[in-house]
């Protein structure tokens, strides 16, 4: 069990990237963190060890958040280990890289798979954690994307799913208040291995174009996105907000 002043968090999709950076920043605050993964067991264990070295405690739990029983497994793991859940970060996500102009590039099955991970999983994990979050008067942060407000990104299905996640955030902020705060972070182009693999040879060109179109002439790192996530987890009077972290891409360069 965690001590009375040690907070416990679940971060989905946290073996690498923004999720791992978020877990590590929480650990530096002395928190306990569930590191969730679906495939990358070795990397999840490395992240858990890094969290322990940073001053927190962590366990790695394999779970496919598209499955309701696995969402409940994550909640049960946190309660069994620490007796509480103070915060949930819905970071797990997926996409299919497909041209926005090619409507034949996406099938109904593509939409269903992307929505299952990007939208339904967030709902299911919040539902699984709800009793403990109410008890702790905790917080949820959904990791969305500027794709959901700008209609850009890796595919139409991805952009639509993030728009749905934004609406889910607003709806649940009302429904779960005053006990649970629910917010979302909307990153722009974030330099992760996931994005590099997805874009392949087009990565450098896409990164340079993003920088040219943003007011700060820059992209994001996982740590920079994680800073916003952690801030919202601890901001006691902020709920129902969609916080954009995009180096000024939304307003554009002068």
Q: Which residues are catalytic?
A: 158
DSSP state letter for 112: H
Distance between CA atoms of residues 154 and 152, nearest Å: 7
Task: Mark out the alpha helices in the chain (DSSP H runs).
Answer: 17-28, 41-53, 68-82, 108-115, 121-136, 147-150, 156-176, 193-199, 203-213, 222-234
Q: Are 91 and 37 in contact (CB under 8 A)?
A: no
Residue whose token pair is 């959901």: 148
Q: Are 58 and 2 in contact (CB under 8 A)?
A: no
β-pairing, 87-90 with 32-37?
unpaired
DSSP state letter for 94: -
Rg over CA atoms, the chain: 17
Nearest Cα to Cα of residue 48 among 38, 63, 59, 56: 59
Nearest Cα to Cα of residue 47 among 29, 76, 75, 21: 21
């Amino acid at each position: 069990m965690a001590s009375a002043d040690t907070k416990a968090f679940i971060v989905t999709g946290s073996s690498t990237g923004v999720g791992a950076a978020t877990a590590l920043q929480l650990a530096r605050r002395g928190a306990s963190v569930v590191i969730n993964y679906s495939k990358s067991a070795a990397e999840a264990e490395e992240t858990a060890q890094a969290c322990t070295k940073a001053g927190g405690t962590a366990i790695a739990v394999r779970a496919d958040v598209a499955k309701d029983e696995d969402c409940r497994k994550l909640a049960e793991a946190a309660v069994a280990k620490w007796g509480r859940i103070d915060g949930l970060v819905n970071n797990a996500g997926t996409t299919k890289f497909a041209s926005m102009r090619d409507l034949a590039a996406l099938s109904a099955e593509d939409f269903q798979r992307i929505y299952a991970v990007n939208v339904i999983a967030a709902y299911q994990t919040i539902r699984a954690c709800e009793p403990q979050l109410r008890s702790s008067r905790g917080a949820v942060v959904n990791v969305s994307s500027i794709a959901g407000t700008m209609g850009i990104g890796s595919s139409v299905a991805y952009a639509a799913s993030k728009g749905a996640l934004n609406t889910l955030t607003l709806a649940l902020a009302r429904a779960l208040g005053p006990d649970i705060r629910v917010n979302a972070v909307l990153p722009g182009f974030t330099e992760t291995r996931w994005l590099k693999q997805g874009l392949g040879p087009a990565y450098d060109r896409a990164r340079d174009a993003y920088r040219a179109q943003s007011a700060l002439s820059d992209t994001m790192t996982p740590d920079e996105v994680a800073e916003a996530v952690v801030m919202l987890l601890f901001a006691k009077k902020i709920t129902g907000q969609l916080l954009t972290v995009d180096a000024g891409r939304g307003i554009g360069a002068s």
